[in-house]
Amino acid sequence: MEPASATPTTTAPATANGNDPGPGRGFESLDTETRVESLPVTGELPQWLTGSLLRTGPAKWEVGEQRMNHWFDGFAMLHSFAIADGRVSYANKFLQTKAYRAARETGEIRYSEFATDPCRSLFGRVFSLFNPKISDNANVNLTRLGERFVSMTETPIPVQFDAETLDTVGVAYDTPGLLTTAHPHLERADGGMLNYAAKVGPRNSYRFFHVAPDATKPEILATLPVSRPAYMHSFGLTERHFVLAEFPFVVNPIKIPLSGRPYIENYEWKPELGTRITLVDRETGAKTGPFETDACFGFHHVNSYEDEDGTVVADICVFEDATIIEDLYLDRLRGGKPLPQPEVRRFRIDPATGSVAHERLTDVGFELPRINYGRCNERPYRYVWGVADGDTGWLERIVRADLADGTTTEWSEPGQYPGEPVFVARPGAEDEDDGVLLSVVLDSRKGNSHMLVLDARDLTELARAEAPHHIPFGFHGQFARV
């Protein structure tokens, strides 16, 4: 692996605007780890805003002469913007996983990632079925579990880290399956975590589980048998139910080690299966459904809740099919291929009749959705924030949607490419949208990134804090109050 001072070799995407070099720098590797005590800040940070915006995401796609294939494959890097007394400090550090350390020590990609598989021989693939080298490259999301901070991906090895130093601590807890999600939910009753995992083997099953704030062993709450597990990046939660949306992008797990293809390329799009939504009772584990509706594909549930008449509402960002995964291969992203537009779709499930109706919630489609989780997760809500594409085909706008009247408000600026907008409620706030949004934005003209602070109500800019370098495009993070 190259030393920290090496210059990454990447190809910038094409751009439709000759004055804007485009989002290409967001897919350039970042080798430098740094700590800056005080970033340049323009504007004024709210006095009540104290804590840290913590993020994980892919930051390096090259090892020696080898190149990873997909945006989701890059080695995880942690980023921290710590806010106090109107000032912002910044630090970044690679997550010291087995996969990263092996690459650094050998100069080779040693672990299979989402769409990159270094195991070339048939013998190696068959052997890996019985002695799998599962990657712990936790580059998708992070969460707080009691006093612990955990970085996560879709493999069953969540990695604990120190939120102040960004040092890697070790495996946080056991996961009861081989495939899981990096989008757990808070268990309000005890401050623990609820998540899903797929156990694969001779008998495949979906498992919902709970991890207490200080526990390392999960409690399995429900088990559902399945012959061909669907790819699921997240799931829904109401006050009574887990909401399991199975999109028709499925896999026969036993074929993976024999196929000669990376993990995700073993999944097949089967639209004839339709989308199946199952409700699982959080207390008893009993299932209702599945209820079938039109074929579609999605990464992110926005929110779910139950109406007074018993109807279950599940809001999901969806695409027509699963080709979005192919569009996120690095050669396509760096070639400037436009991304397909998602739709924010509301599914209404009537358990009494077995019917599923759906409607489009907003005229503007967006991804990486965030809500006021502390107040609204599992419950009726009104506002959602996300990011939408623009002229370059990449994500260029932050969007606020009012689901009560269907209106949207947008923030955008030439040459600015925002990431997920994290909502932070003002202490003591009475209104659902009283707070700020924090987004890490790539400034393609300056060549670096900054933390942008917007008023969550009208998306007016309050402040920005400039990082000393570009931050590669990542996925998710959390704000931790101190």
- Tens-digit pLDDT profile for residues 74-85: 999 999 999 999
Q: How crowded is the C-beta side of 359, counted as CA atoms within 13 Å? A: 6
Show Cβ contacts of residue 351 under 8 Å, excluding neighbours closer than 6 positions.
279, 288, 289, 291, 310, 312
Confidence at 132, pLDDT banded by 50, 70, 90: low
Sheet architecture: strand order including 75-84: 34-36, 87-94, 75-84, 51-60, 476-481
How many Å apart are CA 407 and CA 181, to the nearest integer?
Answer: 31
* Burial zone of 136 (CB within 10 Å; 0-12 exposed, 13-18 middle, 19+ buried): buried
Alpha-carbon distances, residue 65 vs 8, 62, 117, 139, 142 (angstroms)? 11, 7, 15, 22, 30
- Is the predicted pLDDT of residue 7 greater than 60, yes or no? no
Whole-number percent of the chain with pLDDT over 70: 92
289 Rama sector, left if φ>0, alpha if ψ -120 to 50, beta otherwise: left
Per-residue pLDDT, averaged over 289-317, amounts to: 97
How many Å apart are CA 440 and CA 473, to the nearest integer?
Answer: 9
Q: Would you state the pLDDT for residue 260?
A: 75
The angle subtended at Cα 117 by Cα 113 and Cα 121, nearest 5°, is 150
Domains of the chain: 23-481 (2.130.10)
Q: Would you state the pLDDT for residue 117?
A: 86
C-alpha 96: how far from chain center: 20
Show Cβ contacts of residue 45 under 8 Å, excluding neighbours closer than 6 positions.
83, 86, 88, 453, 462, 463
Q: Would you state the pLDDT for residue 391?
A: 84
- Is the predicted pLDDT of residue 192 greater than 60, yes or no? yes
Per-residue pLDDT, averaged over 451-477, amounts to: 98
CB 328 within 8 A of CB 71: yes
Backbone phi, psi, residue 127, to 5° = -60, -35
The model scores a pTM over 0.95: no
- Is the predicted pLDDT of residue 11 greater than 60, yes or no? no
3-state secondary structure of 263: helix
Q: Would you state the pLDDT for residue 256?
A: 75
Q: Would you state the pLDDT for residue 129?
A: 43
Mean pLDDT of the chain: 92
C-alpha 128: how far from chain center: 27
Backbone phi, psi, residue 230, to 5° = -90, 155
Helix, strand, coil percent content, the chain, rounded in steps of 5: 10, 45, 45
Q: Would you state the pLDDT for residue 254?
A: 79
Tell me the per-residue pLDDT of 417-453, one tens digit each, with 9 for 90 and over: 999 999 999 999 999 999 999 999 999 999 999 999 9
CB 73 within 8 A of CB 61: yes
Among the listed residues 338, 333, 385, the one whose alpha carbon sits nearest the alpha carbon of residue 364: 385
Per-residue pLDDT, averaged over 96-112, amounts to: 95
C-alpha 192: how far from chain center: 19
More confident residue, 409 or 253: 409
Output the 3-class SS for 303-325.
EEEECCCCCEEEEEEEECCCHHH
428 Rama sector, left if φ>0, alpha if ψ -120 to 50, beta otherwise: left
Q: Would you state the pLDDT for residue 119?
A: 67
Tell me the per-residue pLDDT of 340-375, one tens digit each, with 9 for 90 and over: 989 999 999 999 999 999 999 999 999 999 999 999
How many Å apart are CA 371 and CA 369, to the nearest integer?
Answer: 7
Per-residue pLDDT, averaged over 207-233, amounts to: 97
* Cβ neighbours of 31 (radius 10 Å): 18
- Is the predicted pLDDT of residue 472 greater than 70, yes or no? yes
Strand partners, 198: 179, 206
CB 387 within 8 A of CB 322: no
CB 250 within 8 A of CB 273: yes
3-state secondary structure of 271: helix
2 Rama sector, left if φ>0, alpha if ψ -120 to 50, beta otherwise: beta
Tell me the per-residue pLDDT of 149-165, one tens digit each, with 9 for 90 and over: 999 999 999 999 999 99
Confidence at 120, pLDDT banded by 50, 70, 90: low
Strand partners, 318: 298, 343
Q: Helices marked H in 343-440 — which ranges?
A: 373-376
Q: Would you state the pLDDT for residue 86?
A: 93
Q: Would you state the pLDDT for residue 308?
A: 92
Tell me the per-residue pLDDT of 373-418, one tens digit each, with 9 for 90 and over: 999 999 999 999 999 998 888 999 999 999 999 899 999 999 999 9
CB 420 within 8 A of CB 475: yes
Q: Would you state the pLDDT for residue 5?
A: 31
3-state secondary structure of 330: helix
Residue at token pair 């120190």:
162
Alpha-carbon distances, residue 104 vs 64, 139, 226, 342, 473 (angstroms)? 9, 17, 39, 37, 22
